[in-house]
Structure 1
Amino acid sequence: MPKPVYPHLPLDGLLRRAAVRDPAGWAVRTGPSGRSGPSTVTFAELDAQADRIAAHLEEDCGRRGARVGVANTLDPVFAAAYYGTVRSGNTVVLVNPLLKETGLVHVFTAAAVEVAFVPTATAELLLKLSDRLPALRTVVVTDAPDGVVPGDAVPLAEVLDRTAERSSLPEAVDLDADACIQFTTGTTGRPKGVRLTHRNLVANAAQISAAHRLGSDSVLLNHLPLYHVMHLNSAVYAGACQVLCPDPDPIASLALAAEVSATHYYGLPARLHALALDDRITGPFPAGRSLTAVLSGGTALASGAARALSERLGVPVVQGYGMAELSPLSHCQDPRRPKAGSVGPPVPGTECRIVHLDTRTPLDVYATGEVQVRGPQVMAGYLDDTEPPRIDADGWFSTGDVGYRNEDGVLFLVDRLGDVFKYDNELVSPSTVEEVVRADPRVADCIVSGWPDPVHGSVVWLGLVLRDPTAPGLLDRIDSIVEGAGERLTEAEQIRRVEVLGAVPRNHVGKPERAALRRDIRRRAAAEAAL
């Protein structure tokens, strides 16, 4: 298969191209119709806003290559600030607006952020932390329509009020220069700053657009808590309309999807899992004729939940695979024919192989090992150059995930390399055990980890969240759940320790906080062994 050809454009060139092709086309729409109607931004308007923000940053920063923090709120202003930053010749640093003091200090100091576009709550924290953020010079508040902002911050309206005349920006842009720094979720340690170039992000936008089958007539319902550049860049590449749904209620998101005749619905696995169990869905999705797929991302959605949701909504539920280091997507199921239990084949222009965990030699189909990926979306490197780059001399990136491929090149993930553990020298995948346990209708959620054991190395520990924790016969129900799961598990996978939890600890994108759980379990196991 010939390698695809990607647009020879800087990242913000995707928006400029969309504005030229369809200036009146809707780029972003927010919320349902109401008395005042939904808020919509056309491609021409979004492009003009990016120009004004670029002009402001040219003056404020006074040079190219400065780092500008942009909070990825679920709001059109994120798109304007994101593209405006790269258009000014500076690098956008993605800032999670849910971060607290420690997280903000880490991101802003590691990236030496000089200017920030953030909502009021984040701006107040940054001003409070100003003595610990010596590089930060300007804070622009993005959600102050009345112009009232804390301290000496600048309201966004003041930035957008200016003319967009810019003369210093050269026409030529180095496509291998950093366009964006995205921090990892930190599930396996301290969040790392990932350097992504214009070429990385433009290529991946094209790859995602092809894999998700997007076109200029596509309408994308975004039911995520934050804006993700994966969905922004691919939609702008395709010239598609994005509809943002900030309401966390999944039924409200379905109603909005029906109202706007959405063709694609994007959601987090935790929300989609809840949607699959929601008793308020009593029939096929009302906009089933327009909706072509529900797309899940962020972490794995249990195949049972995906199947149940697909049956309830009457459309395919599609899963993919990627990470910040991959800009972020490397694999995706075919929306027309999703392969159950897999994350699909590589997206166009991407290679994948499986290597032995110890010898690092490539493995045949169906053999389990570490997943490696090679393609134009592989990051330039980490912000901290002391971090191991995980990219070999031939361009293969070691993902840290364990999986296998079938004869068609479709990837099946087993688990994170750091999450699997050994029982009598047999690898145990927490995700495999979790999927079996979640199949029990009495289980709302669960998480599995290895509990250190002096005889077997580790045994399965299960954290169990019950759908009805107040019902009588708690111990009998737990025993029944464990016994039922045990019939479908190997000897190494048998559940030997159980705790009832109020909720599974998860981060802002719904990923289980496994590293923190492992630390807690090791501490408790050591204390128990000392008795």
Structure 2
Amino acid sequence: MLDRTSAEGAVVTDAQPEGRTAGPAPGPGLGPGSAGRVDGLLAAAAAAHPDRPAVIGETRLTFADLDARASRYAEALRPLIAGRGAPVVVSSAPHPEFMAAYYGAIRAGAVAVPMNPLLPDPAVERVIEQSGAVVALLAPQVFTRVEASRPRLPRLAHVLRLWDDAGEGGVLVAAGPGPTSTARAGGPASVTPVADGSDPAVVMFTSGTTGPSKGVAVSHHAVRTNAAQFGDAHGIDDRSVVMCHLPIVSPMHMNAAVRAGACQLLCPDPDIRSSVRMANAHRATHYYSLPVRLARLASAPELGGLAFDTVRMIAAGNQTIAAHIIKGLSERFGVPVFQGYGLTESTHLAHTDGPVEPRPGSAGPPVAGSRSRIVDTVTGRVRGPGEVGELQINGPQLMTGYVNRPELSPFDDEGWFATGDVARLDEDGYLYVLDRLADVFRHDGLLVSPSRLERALEAHPDVVEAGVADQPDGSRGRTPVAFVVPKDARSDSGPMQCGALLAAVNSSLEAHERIRHAVVTDAVRRSATNGKVDRKALREELARRPAPEVLDEG
């Protein structure tokens, strides 16, 4: 990795050789699998490892099984779509059938639109309508909900279930005004030709945590490149067994595992104990989970007896994990614990730490072939190492643009994408994310990061979980309010206890960051789709409450 410092002291962290041009372009040194079609990843794995398990979950499929099933989906879908590039929604429930349908839709020449099955009904309708999908392949629980929404989705012609009432997969069960019979095509499907890797492969929707969700168009090349970037950085190869304890099938993890010929374990049970048992039963080497689940694994007394037999690394993304949680997990399980950073617009991953000497609290350096920089949030001037500003990224895994949003110009003239995240880069190019730009606020004219305050609160021994939101504070701007889940819910949680807690936490904070109010709660409000703190909901709750007592004057 190369850090180039300008005459003004600004740093651009570049995980690529000198002389590379800016903008999304093919990255060098990414290894096999970065050129071609996305479904070609599965075809290559099936050819190299036909009898090896590809996925173990509700069912068990070898790579040959998965490839054949994807071909059946392709054959069944071709008569239903209007030529190459038609969007097909596929609900990403943690089930092997999603994998077959995802690759099958792409093999049919469609653009796959993964949809989180945990989205509320209005969000499900927005994804279907904004993507322009005429076909939706859905898990049973989503199928029923979408059927009820059909009158509001005039373009959606075909709604099909990914598995039947008996749990049998590989069957498209039709309903409503669409097709009227079960579709189960046999035989290999011909591959729809693609002119080059710039053709769209998938449309993914942003989470909508800080604003309305947007459809993100991603090319075949970007998906395959990011699979290589992720897999190579995390050491995923054909001997790996990848445990994904996530509420959905993550295409990033899936594509990296398939590219490497690795087995993927899907655990739909949210209970952490179930995932550990499954990981041990199948000799998992890599364990991925949500940060909120890893935080619980680190702190919940009832999980204290859990142990991994063969897992050699634990990792997460999605949001920053406090350094003390990473250190505690690593010491407890005796394996490296680390995190990465990405967003939908970067095909999920832009930075990642790795299993060799990870730095707690950091999301690591840029992935291979990409680069990052920090710019001033007001002037746009590139900032130096350690300085805080907005993160911008540039690399071959970036999206091609937003779907049906021509008014949005996501890239500057040199191909840099503004992430909307406030962060800093150290001298080695390691990334430290502070917060979303939309979540930070000013107190006495200085920026305050709610996520930083949450990490400070959760480092206190009496706190299990914390969330921070802001509220108006007259001429001082806005002030932070903490929502705190105490470690011992049976203890006295009156103002004196909160006052002592805030006094201890505030002693480590800058004057403008200090928390003056706290609310004791049973659980912090989080997004059902990604586990992030739902600051909008917390602000709404604050607006409904009487003005809280000032517990610490700072």
Q: TM-score, normalised by structure 1?
A: 0.92
2:300 partner amino acid: D
How far residue 480 of structure 1 moved from its aligned partner, in angstroms, is: 1.5
Identify which of 457, 463, 487 aligns with 2:507.
487
Partner of 2:21: none
Unpaired runs of 5+ in structure 2?
1-15, 18-27, 550-554
The CA distance in 1 between the partners of 2:515 and 2:441, in whole Å, is: 14
User: For each residue in 1:145-198, what CA deviation from the matched residue of structure 2 results, as whole angstroms up to 9, or x when unmatched?
Assistant: 548968448899943x3223545x543443112111111111111111111111
1:297 counterpart = 2:317? yes
Q: Which moved more, 1:203-212 or 1:493-502?
A: 493-502
Partner of 1:200: 222
1:515 counterpart = 2:540? no
Identify which of 99, 103, 117 aligns with 1:83.
103
In structure 2, relative to structure 1, the CA distance for the partners of 1:359 and 1:222 (3 Å cut) is: same
Partner of 2:394: 374
User: For each residue in 1:191-221, what CA deviation from the matched residue of structure 2 results, as whole angstroms up to 9, or x when unmatched?
Assistant: 1111111111011000001111110000001
1:25 counterpart = 2:45? no
Identify which of 258, 265, 269 aligns with 2:287.
265
Q: SS in structure 2 opposite 1:343?
A: coil
Partner of 2:8: none
The CA distance in 1 between the partners of 2:199 and 2:228, in whole Å, is: 19
Q: Which moved more, 1:262-271 or 1:508-517?
A: 508-517
Identify which of 159, 168, 185 aligns with 1:162.
185
User: For each residue in 1:392-446, what CA deviation from the matched residue of structure 2 results, as whole angstroms up to 9, or x when unmatched?
Assistant: 1111010000111111111111111111111112111111111111112221211
**Quick check: 1:303–1:340 contact (8 Å CA) kept in 2?**
yes
Partner of 2:448: 428
The CA distance in 2 between the partners of 1:82 and 1:156, in whole Å, is: 22
Partner of 1:220: 242
How far residue 517 of structure 1 moved from its aligned partner, in angstroms, is: 3.3
In structure 2, relative to structure 1, the CA distance for the partners of 1:19 and 1:318 (3 Å cut) is: same
Unpaired runs of 5+ in structure 1?
32-38
The CA distance in 2 between the partners of 1:144 and 1:263, in whole Å, is: 32
**Quick check: 1:446–1:462 contact (8 Å CA) kept in 2?**
yes
1:254 counterpart = 2:282? no
Alignment of 1:161-180 (within 5 A): 161-166=184-189, 169-180=191-202
Identify which of 324, 330, 334 aligns with 1:314.
334
In structure 2, relative to structure 1, the CA distance for the partners of 1:235 and 1:171 (3 Å cut) is: same
How many percent identity over aligned positions? Answer: 38
Alignment of 1:267-416 (within 5 A): 267-282=289-304, 285-287=307-309, 290-416=310-436
The CA distance in 2 between the partners of 1:398 and 1:449, in whole Å, is: 24
2:213 partner amino acid: P
**Quick check: 1:208–1:234 contact (8 Å CA) kept in 2?**
yes
In structure 2, relative to structure 1, the CA distance for the partners of 1:277 and 1:353 (3 Å cut) is: same
Q: TM-score, normalised by structure 2?
A: 0.88
Identify which of 448, 451, 470 aligns with 2:490.
470
Q: SS in structure 2 opposite 1:492?
A: helix
User: For each residue in 1:352-387, what CA deviation from the matched residue of structure 2 results, as whole angstroms up to 9, or x when unmatched?
Assistant: 011111111111111111000000111111113245
2:518 partner amino acid: V
1:44 partner amino acid: A
The CA distance in 1 between the partners of 2:410 and 2:548, in whole Å, is: 35
**Quick check: 1:54–1:84 contact (8 Å CA) kept in 2?**
yes
Q: SS in structure 1 opposite 2:255?
A: helix
**Quick check: 2:111–2:200 contact (8 Å CA) kept in 1?**
yes
**Quick check: 1:189–1:515 contact (8 Å CA) kept in 2?**
no
1:144 partner amino acid: D
1:311 partner amino acid: E
**Quick check: 1:452–1:525 contact (8 Å CA) kept in 2?**
no
**Quick check: 1:285–1:314 contact (8 Å CA) kept in 2?**
no
How far residue 12 of structure 1 moved from its aligned partner, in angstroms, is: 0.5
How far residue 469 of structure 1 moved from its aligned partner, in angstroms, is: 3.3
Q: SS in structure 2 opposite 1:50?
A: helix
Partner of 2:83: 63
How far residue 450 of structure 1 moved from its aligned partner, in angstroms, is: 2.2
The CA distance in 1 between the partners of 2:51 and 2:181, in whole Å, is: 22
Partner of 2:116: 96
The CA distance in 2 between the partners of 1:340 and 1:469, in whole Å, is: 29
User: For each residue in 1:33-66, what CA deviation from the matched residue of structure 2 results, as whole angstroms up to 9, or x when unmatched?
Assistant: xxxxxx3211111011111111111112242221
The CA RMSD measured in Å over matched residues stands at: 2.4
Alignment of 1:486-505 (within 5 A): 486-505=506-525
The CA distance in 2 between the partners of 1:385 and 1:350, in whole Å, is: 25
The CA distance in 1 between the partners of 2:520 and 2:356, in whole Å, is: 39
Q: SS in structure 2 opposite 1:362?
A: coil
Partner of 1:35: none
1:9 counterpart = 2:30? no
User: For each residue in 1:268-309, what CA deviation from the matched residue of structure 2 results, as whole angstroms up to 9, or x when unmatched?
Assistant: 01111111013245568341xx32210112212221112111
The CA distance in 2 between the partners of 1:191 and 1:525, in whole Å, is: 32
The CA distance in 2 between the partners of 1:366 and 1:442, in whole Å, is: 31
In structure 2, relative to structure 1, the CA distance for the partners of 1:523 and 1:354 (3 Å cut) is: farther
The CA distance in 2 between the partners of 1:342 and 1:127, in whole Å, is: 44
How far residue 524 of structure 1 moved from its aligned partner, in angstroms, is: 7.0
Q: SS in structure 1 opposite 2:264?
A: strand
Q: Which moved more, 1:507-516 or 1:49-58?
A: 507-516
1:238 partner amino acid: A
Partner of 1:34: none
Partner of 2:9: none
**Quick check: 1:15–1:237 contact (8 Å CA) kept in 2?**
yes
Q: Which moved more, 1:474-483 or 1:355-364?
A: 474-483
